[in-house]
Structure formats: C-alpha cells, structure tokens
Amino acid sequence: MPLKAKSRIIQNRDAKTQYITIPADITSDSQYPFTAGQEVELIINPEDSKIEIRAKQTKTTAVDEV
C-alpha cells in the first residue's frame, strides 16, 4: 500500500532552492525506504506535475582475488 501525506514546497528566501518536507507519519513508517543524508535522484515530469524520488545507486566494482 502506498504511503501518502500532504506537504508543502518551501522557498529559500536567499536562493532559488526549494524544499519539500516529508512528514514524520511517512518517515517513521517501516515501508519508508530512505535515510537522512542519503543521496537521491529526482525525476520531474512536468506534463502531469509528478516528482519521482529514487535512491541513488552506488556503483560497485568487482575486486579480483589474488
């Protein structure tokens, strides 16, 4: 079942940066997949006003055994 809550977009007065807060009801749910400080990728679809947030995948490299 998807997690749902209302939030707001907050504008930084001193910059063009905007923030979207994620309510505690969402972040405390066991289904919530992100952690504080984690890097994420944002995908914006302006046609239907949707924002997709994905965990940024870290690249792993194989280590050859000696």
Q: List residues bridging with 42 in a β-sheet.
A: 53
Instruction: Give me Rg for the CA atoms of the chain.
Output: 16
pLDDT, position 65: 53
Question: Which stretches of the chain score pLDDT less than 70?
Answer: 58-66
Measured CA distances, 65 to 7, 59, 62 (Å): 50, 19, 9
Question: Over the stretch 2-17, which tens digit does the pLDDT of each residue have?
Answer: 999 999 999 999 999 9
List the chain domain ranges: 9-55
Q: Is the pTM of this model over 0.75?
A: no
